[in-house]
Amino acid sequence: MNRGGNISLQLPMDLTILGLGGCGKRLCEEVCRHDWILDSYLVPGKRLRIYTMDTDANERADDEWYRSRVKSRIQEMGAGGNIEYKYYYLPSLANITQVSDLTSQEVAEKIKDRKSEPLVKTWWMNDSGDFGLSFEELRSIDPFLIDDFGGGVHRRRAISKAIFYKVLSQGQASGFPTFPSTGTTALIVGLGGGTGSGMFIDLARYIRALKGESSQIWLFAVIPTTKEGEKEQLNAAIALTELEYLNLNERLFNHIILTSLGPTGYKKGEEAKVEVHEFDSMFPHILTNFFHIKKGDINLSDSKHLYSSFVFADAHVIEYPVDELKALKKQYEEVILELEAITATRKEINRSVKTLLDSQNLFREVPPTRADSEYIKKEYGNVEKVWKNEIEKLLNYQSPDAIEFFIQNNISAETSLEKINNYEDMLSFLSKVKTFNLSVKEDELKDENDKVLFRLIPEALSGIEETARLFKRTAGIEEETVGSVLINVLKGKQDLVSFMDRLNVKAKSLKEETLEVEAELQRKKSERDLLNELHIQVEKAVDKALNDNDLELEEYFSQKEKLKVLQEHEYDLKTKIDAFLGNLKEGNIKSGDKDSWLLMAGVPDFQRELETLSRDLLNLNELGSLLEAIALYFFYDYKINRLENAGIKEKVLVAIKGNKTKSLRNYEAKKRNKEEYIKSTGREYLQINSPFELSVPESFLSESLDRKSEELKDKVLKSLFFGLDLQDLELEEIEQGFKSRDRPKMRSVFREILTEKTLQKEDYSGKFGRVETEVLELEKSLQEKHALSFLIEKVETLTEENLANRRDLNRYYGQFYEEVTRMNNLHGLGGKTSISLYMTKFGNINPKILSLIDASSDMTDLDWDDSGKHELDKLIEEILVTYKNLVESYKLGVHNLMIPISATERWNFGKAALVVSSRSSYISSQLTSERIADAIKDEINGTLALKNINDAKLATHNYTGSWDIALTFFSASGFLDNISPLTAGGGFWEVYENNKDNVLHHVLKLQEGKYITRKALLDLREAGELANLEKRGGNVGERINRLYEEKSIKEALQHEDSRKLEIAL
């Protein structure tokens, strides 16, 4: 054991590290962040290759960006000849864009024709052979199979395996690495994923075929948590059983080191969780320190057997935060820069969405969802992280303090953001907080960073407030899919494939609906045209009817005019006729001569006057004849009376002239003749009472004319309005029309009423109203559909144009969270030591040490000073407390550290090793001193119940972060039935038992048309007995192999059919 001095890190001279899938890639990137690892390969003759491989199209741009970033760092280090970093996007190397590209017969034949190992007999993606399945049958086993690579292979291990073989079939032209013939290969993989977990076995076979059986291939596998999804748990369970089966039957991996993510409690979407970041950060120590103990004099392989073949590892980093003190300002500047970039990008995204909403007049606002409110709160929280960090207090910046002061004095605790449930209150809160800078004097700001914060924080809050206001407008969009897309654009989401698919479906449906509405609109317009034509026809018919009655109307108005004039003469004429009748009745006219009689009676005057009136008004000649007849009636009556009452003179004259009786009869006959004439014709003008009393009525002339005009009126009304249901108001309008004597006005009234009533009879208004309403509704619907189609088109364009901004926003946030996480790790500076799962932040730093360090210092500088050594002694005490926490079952991912079998027998791990790495030689020498080293080994030995004191090893070296102390613990070797995430209640095994025949999650033997399943878990006691038997040299392989079934992949289809039947029943 080395006691003091500078102890080198034992790493392979030629090392290839392969990070497979999302987890492996992330951990490789973490390895690259540890400069001390890269520095180890700056020595001439050493070579380090780091290759990451993935299938996730969504992460490709970020992966390429990270590759270029690492490459630049390697160039800056001057390590271009020693260190190589490459990223491989496997679908591109395989020349495919979707899963179905793997299913053609051409692909199957090309892969099966390969002559190099590993060989393929059955193409499990689509093989018509005896042992294969069709692609459709695969889909029936897993109906949720996703065709694209947005998100990778979506946890389907068999697809990753297929992509790998497709890459190999492309030959060297694909650009896939060929791997050197010498050197060690380390595969890093997350067993719960699809890409890495699906290809690591076949990749190992490929490497071993290239490099030979003597090649060293080490597997570093991460076991997922039991809180992850069923697919992740199923993948991990199957991968672990496949590894066990391989260990029993095939030498593929020299070492398998398992590390459990379980203690973090990680579940999908929690990549930013502090514990996950700490896990990633500690992993490089597991990788490097396992190499260190294997290359040194500590051989854990002695405890490895066929069944007990897994090494379990855990690590913890004690951070002495001097490095952070030095980089304090720089880190905070990085956070500020990232926040600036985020704010600028958010502003651009907000602008593009607002422009679209404004252009489409989308101003309706609806309160967004709770999830959207939480997003705004989270974004506010991100900005809050900038001013609430301990760094700004150490730097004594004014802007963050001013915000806190403003909030404390202007916003009550009850209205703090975390307690706000009302969206408008949240907007009000943001609007208020951003005005904090009004209370700050710029000349009091400490430096340029403080001035940037003074400007940036209100801008960032304004951007979040604008996003929140735009959420309300996007939530107000009636088309939910459009609103969802825009909200996700505002949130900066990159993967909008599912939303855009829904949008495309909506656009297609909208196009069909638009065509239907246009057709229906055309039909309704045709109906409206027919109704308009009916209106025109009715108007024509009305005009014709009015024209047909024009003569009657003209005559009516003519008579009315004549009647008016006639009435002006009627009274005078009646007076004269009354006098005329009076004179005749009273016998005031006496003449024996007819002509004289008529003249004396005034008949000629009457006739002349009536003749004049007849020329201007109406024919009154008949009245003249009637008056003449009346005068003659009374003349003949006079004559008769004279004959009957004649005196001597008259008698003599009658005698002279002839027979009296004859004359009398003659006069009587003429009198009767006139009486009959008067009675037959005079009633139009006179009132004739019995026996023959004549009188002149008041309207003796106008009554007749008025009657005739009324008859004309009735004739017109019947002609025009017969059969029409006229209302009182309409009758009144018609009557007023006649009374007005204004023919154009009356015609207009008649036309209007007649048109309306005729159309009413045809229900024109109802029909036209209904059709017009339908037309308007259809036009509105069509306008809305055109507007929505245009909006969808605009949204699609915006989404495409905005992709770069959203990608930038995510990248900036990734860097922001990374920097903020590092800042948060500084919370113990100057305070108490803080301890988390994988990280201890050492507190209570003695300020005197600051005089010992400069920009290039590390923990070695504390070795030569009493104050420094005092600090190192405190760190040693922390190490002696912390390492014990590594030797815990839940941290290692095992069910039991020791399994009692009987009163005298138990199972325990064979060996264990603790590696402590620190730049300080003082720490190394103190830990390896006999007193401390023996105490540590005794503690480990007692905890694990190891059989021999020498089965617990302690090693140190001086390679780690400048101010870090890394503690890495390994226990060897364990077996599958003792892996706690797999076997514990609620662990992977429950998922495995229900889904183990889903071949898309299998890898082993698929190329042979087979897959393997484990029937059951062993009871821990039985498993311990078998492991102990194996330690004693017994062969337990046959017993474990009996737990496995080797099945044809066709059986998977039968199992799926049976499972569906059981569910149906």
The model's pLDDT over 573-611, given as tens digits with 9 standing for 90+, comes to 889 888 988 888 888 888 888 899 989 988 998 888 888
196 plus 302 within the same structural domain: yes
Domain carrying residue 601 = 564-701
Cross-strand bridge partners of residue 979 = 894
| DSSP calls for 724-748 | ----HHHHHHHHHHHHH--HHHHHH
Q: Is the pLDDT at 1 greater than 60, yes or no?
A: no
Backbone φ and ψ for 775, nearest 5 degrees, come out as -60, -45
189 plus 298 within the same structural domain: yes
Q: Name the region of 5 (left: φ>0; alpha: ψ -120 to 50; beta: rest).
A: left
User: Which pLDDT score is estimated for 297?
Assistant: 63
Backbone φ and ψ for 969, nearest 5 degrees, come out as -120, 135
384 plus 268 within the same structural domain: no
290 plus 350 within the same structural domain: no
Answer with the one of 686, 701, 716 that is the final residue of a domain.
701
User: Which pLDDT score is estimated for 6?
Assistant: 62
User: Which pLDDT score is estimated for 657?
Assistant: 58
Please report, rounded to a whole number, the percentage of residues in the chain having pLDDT higher than 90.
39
User: Which pLDDT score is estimated for 88?
Assistant: 95
Rounded mean pLDDT, 901-917: 92
User: Which pLDDT score is estimated for 546?
Assistant: 83
Q: What angle do CA 819, 823, 826 make, to 5 degrees?
A: 155
Contacts 24+ apart (CB under 8 A), 847-853: 849/322, 850/325, 853/322, 853/326
746-784 in b/e form (b: 16+ CB < 10 A) is: bbebbbebbbbbbbeeeebeebbeebeebbeebeebbee
84 plus 188 within the same structural domain: yes
80 plus 178 within the same structural domain: yes
Q: Is the pLDDT at 660 greater than 80, yes or no?
A: no
Q: Is the pLDDT at 665 greater than 70, yes or no?
A: yes
Rounded mean pLDDT, 931-960: 91
Look at strands 839-841 and 898-900 and give their pairing. unpaired
Total-model pTM: 0.58
Q: Is residue 662 part of a domain?
A: yes
DSSP type of residue 191 = T
293 plus 387 within the same structural domain: no
Reported as a single tens digit per residue, the pLDDT across 713-739 is: 788 888 877 777 778 887 787 777 777
Q: Is the pLDDT at 385 greater than 70, yes or no?
A: yes
Answer with the one of 456, 476, 496 that is the final residue of a domain.
476
User: Which pLDDT score is estimated for 26?
Assistant: 94
47 plus 189 within the same structural domain: yes
User: Which pLDDT score is estimated for 577?
Assistant: 87
How many CB atoms are located within 10 Å of the residue 890 CB? 14
Token readout for 969 is 């613990």
pLDDT top residue among 768 and 1046: 1046
Taking the C-alpha atoms of residue 387 and residue 399, their distance in angstroms, rounded to an integer, is: 8
Flag the least confident range among 20-24, 233-237, 380-384, 896-900.
380-384
Number of domains forming the structure of the chain: 3
Q: Is residue 103 part of a domain?
A: yes
pLDDT top residue among 649 and 723: 723
Look at strands 687-689 and 693-695 and give their pairing. antiparallel
Q: Is residue 141 part of a domain?
A: yes
Q: Is residue 102 part of a domain?
A: yes
118 plus 252 within the same structural domain: yes
Q: Is the pLDDT at 1063 greater than 80, yes or no?
A: no
Residue 502 banded pLDDT, cuts 50, 70, 90: confident
Mean pLDDT of the chain: 86
Q: Is the pLDDT at 5 greater than 80, yes or no?
A: no
Q: Is residue 825 part of a domain?
A: no
List C-alpha distances in Å: 342 to 42, 157, 392, 445, 466: 37, 36, 20, 23, 14
Q: Is residue 557 part of a domain?
A: no
Rounded mean pLDDT, 194-215: 93
Reported as a single tens digit per residue, the pLDDT across 840-874 is: 988 877 756 755 777 678 889 899 888 889 989 99
Q: Is the pLDDT at 827 greater than 50, yes or no?
A: no
Taking the C-alpha atoms of residue 981 and residue 222, their distance in angstroms, rounded to an integer, is: 11
Q: Is residue 714 part of a domain?
A: no
Residue 1047 banded pLDDT, cuts 50, 70, 90: very high
Q: Name the region of 1046 (left: φ>0; alpha: ψ -120 to 50; beta: rest).
A: beta
Look at strands 47-54 and 14-20 and give their pairing. parallel
Rounded mean pLDDT, 125-144: 84
pLDDT top residue among 1012 and 747: 1012
* Neighbouring C-alpha atoms within 13 Å toward the C-beta of 329: 10
Reported as a single tens digit per residue, the pLDDT across 435-454 is: 877 767 776 676 677 788 88
Taking the C-alpha atoms of residue 289 and residue 11, their distance in angstroms, rounded to an integer, is: 8
User: Which pLDDT score is estimated for 850?
Assistant: 55
Reported as a single tens digit per residue, the pLDDT across 52-77 is: 999 999 999 999 999 999 998 888 88
| Helix-helix angle 594-601:621-644, to 10 degrees | 120
Rounded mean pLDDT, 293-319: 85
Q: Is residue 159 part of a domain?
A: yes
User: Which pLDDT score is estimated for 3?
Assistant: 35
Radius of gyration of the chain (CA): 57
User: Which pLDDT score is estimated for 19?
Assistant: 96
Answer with the one of 451, 476, 501 that is the final residue of a domain.
476
How many CB atoms are located within 10 Å of the residue 210 CB? 15
User: Which pLDDT score is estimated for 2?
Assistant: 36
Residue 830 banded pLDDT, cuts 50, 70, 90: low
User: Which pLDDT score is estimated for 754?
Assistant: 83
User: Which pLDDT score is estimated for 828?
Assistant: 46
579 plus 697 within the same structural domain: yes
| DSSP calls for 758-818 | HHHHTTHHHHHHHHHHHHHHHHHHHHHHHHHHHHHHHHHHHHHHTHHHHHHHHHHHHHHHH
Q: Is the pLDDT at 516 greater than 60, yes or no?
A: yes
Taking the C-alpha atoms of residue 346 and residue 475, their distance in angstroms, rounded to an integer, is: 19
Q: Which residues contact 967 (CB under 8 A, 6 or more apart)?
A: 315, 316, 317, 318, 879, 882, 883, 886, 914, 915, 916
User: Which pLDDT score is estimated for 648?
Assistant: 60
| Helix-helix angle 728-740:702-721, to 10 degrees | 130
102 plus 220 within the same structural domain: yes
CATH of the domain at 178: 3.40.50.1440
256 plus 154 within the same structural domain: yes
Reported as a single tens digit per residue, the pLDDT across 991-1007 is: 999 999 999 999 999 99
